[in-house]
Amino acid sequence: MMVLFVVLLIIIVAALVGMSIYVGWRLTHPERKPVDEAPQDYGLQAQTVTFPSRTGDVQLQGWFIPSSKQDSPPLTIILSHGYAGTRLEKGLPALALAASLVQAGYHVLMFDFRNSGLSEGHLTTVGYLEKEDLLGAIDWVKAHVPGKIGLLGFSMGGSTSILAAAEEPAVQGVVADSPFSQLSPYLRANLPVWSKLPRYPFTPLILAILPRLIGADPRHVDALAAVDQVYPRPLLLIHSEDDSAIPWNNSKEMWNKHPDTFDLWITRHAAHVGSYRLQPEAYTERVISFFSKI
């Protein structure tokens, strides 16, 4: 009887670990979404660009969309998409926002992170290597487009924008829409949103396995610490208090570090990264006003 119990326990544990490995692998290898819209659909003229991540291990693809305004300010805004998305960030959609930014006189660079859209790579690390991808985009702009650089990121892209700005002094300001503040605590509290599995026993198991899957510790993806290196440059945090994927207090705790310089816009009734869709005019006005001051 005891032998049967031990065998059954081993089978259960093996099944739990096996399922955790599978789900962890799927989370770090999400299915690619197509890039099935083009700037021309929004009346924009774009140049397809390819550049390496700052790590040099993957080539990334994107669009550079110049402003045709002769009196345009010398500022390029780099857009960064969310987890398992593409440069299109269809929840907004990002091309509609890009059109408004270009009309306001800003150049825009949109690109796909590694393992997304049309870029190379087979692994998603939820900010760890994506930071290097964004730094590669910044390197491309520094080499090809005169003027200042601003960052605008959504969800994972918002957190990644903060991480990249902390390391790159060429960035003059950051807008982060619905970012998480620290990946490890965020996953401990919210992983069931993404895994679709009960918190126990799966969240601890997946988090124990994750560093081996991505080759990095999620604790290193720490935007809350990075905002100290962004400061005193300006940071605008946008978040809906009804965001069920990344709670709005993630943005609030980053704003709390430097409320004298950072700005926090809390919206209502919007889903995750949904503030633009709910209030496109107010959102666009806030973003353009922010960048006009840098």
pLDDT in tens, 259-271: 999 999 999 999 9
The share of the chain scoring above pLDDT 70, in percent, equals 94
pLDDT, tens digit, 9 for 90 and up, residues 275-287: 999 999 999 999 9
| Stretch 192-219: mean pLDDT | 86
Cβ neighbours of 242 (radius 10 Å)? 16
Largest CA distance in the chain: 84
Is 270 in contact with 277 (CB distance < 8 Å)?
A: yes
Report the distance separating Cα 77 and Cα 141, nearest Å: 10
Q: What is the pLDDT at residue 6?
A: 62
Token output for 49? 């660009």
- Residue 273 confidence class, pLDDT cut points 50, 70, 90: very high
Buried b vs exposed e over 115-137: b needs ≥16 C-beta within 10 Å? bbbbbbbeebbbbbbbbbbbbbb
Sort residue 43 into left (φ over 0), alpha (ψ -120 to 50) or beta: left
Report the distance separating Cα 166 and Cα 196, nearest Å: 33
**Alpha-carbon Rg for the chain in angstroms:** 20
Cβ neighbours of 286 (radius 10 Å)? 18
Report the distance separating Cα 194 and Cα 29, nearest Å: 13
Q: Measure CA 134 to chain center.
A: 10
Residue 2 has pLDDT above 80, yes or no: no
Tokens 């950051």 label which residue? Answer: 174
Residue 184 has pLDDT above 70, yes or no: yes
Is 43 in contact with 99 (CB distance < 8 Å)?
A: yes
Positive or negative: CA dihedral 285, 287, 63, 143? positive
- CATH 3.40.50.1820 fits domain 35-182+221-292: yes
pLDDT, tens digit, 9 for 90 and up, residues 140-181: 999 999 999 999 999 999 999 999 999 999 999 999 999 999
- Residue 72 confidence class, pLDDT cut points 50, 70, 90: low
Q: What is the pLDDT at residue 9?
A: 61
Is 267 in contact with 278 (CB distance < 8 Å)?
A: yes
Q: What is the pLDDT at residue 217?
A: 87
- Residue 199 confidence class, pLDDT cut points 50, 70, 90: confident
| Stretch 95-115: mean pLDDT | 97
Tokens 């950072």 label which residue? Answer: 262
Q: Measure CA 220 to chain center.
A: 15
The full set of domain ranges for the chain reads 1-30+183-217, 35-182+221-292
- Residue 59 confidence class, pLDDT cut points 50, 70, 90: very high
Which among 284, 232, 238 has a CA at the least distance from the CA of 258? 232
Q: What is the pLDDT at residue 143?
A: 97
Report the distance separating Cα 153 and Cα 157, nearest Å: 4
Q: What is the pLDDT at residue 14?
A: 65
Q: Which residues have CB under 8 Å from 19's CB, separation 6+?
A: 197, 202
Token output for 58? 């993957």
Q: What is the pLDDT at residue 20?
A: 67
Q: Which residues have CB under 8 Å from 161's CB, separation 6+?
A: 78, 80, 134, 151, 152, 153, 174, 175, 176, 179
